[in-house]
């Protein structure tokens, strides 16, 4: 069974889910440093949770900037994000005052 996604990967996936689709925009939206986002995007792409495509070079040239690589979640990425969010929510609930150990006495 694959290792659960960490908070950084979940933040990157959540940014993409929220419609943030290229690297620097993901950095700004997620609050994760670029030196972490770009390797993370590579790992998420290699694991099949995200797919990417380069924009047409004419668009970038018309705007006088480098080409952007756009990212989108795959079905596996959507599932992994939902599972990760549920796992983090359960952990946060367990950490709430009076809830240590899942509320068990």
- Residues facing 71 on adjacent strands: 52
pLDDT tens column, 22-57: 999 999 999 999 999 999 999 999 999 999 999 999
User: Residue 81 is inside which H or E element, if any?
Assistant: helix 75-95
Residue 105 has a pLDDT of: 44
Domain parsing of the chain, residue ranges: 7-94
Looking at the predicted structure, is the pLDDT value of residue 1 above 90? no
* Global confidence as pTM: 0.86
Q: Are 64 and 91 in contact (CB under 8 A)?
A: no
Mean per-residue pLDDT, 53-74: 97
Q: 7-94 maps to which CATH number?
A: 1.10.10.10
């Amino acid at each position: 069974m694959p290792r659960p996604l960490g908070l950084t990967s979940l933040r990157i996936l959540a940014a993409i889910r929220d419609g943030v689709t290229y690297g620097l925009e993901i950095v700004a939206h997620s609050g994760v440093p670029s030196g972490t986002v770009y390797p993370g995007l590579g790992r998420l792409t290699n694991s099949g949770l995200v797919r990417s495509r380069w924009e047409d070079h004419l668009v970038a040239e018309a705007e006088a900037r480098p080409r952007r690589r756009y990212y989108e979640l795959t079905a596996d990425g959507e599932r992994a994000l939902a599972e990760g969010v549920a796992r983090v929510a359960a952990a946060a609930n367990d950490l709430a005052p009076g809830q240590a150990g899942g509320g068990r006495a």
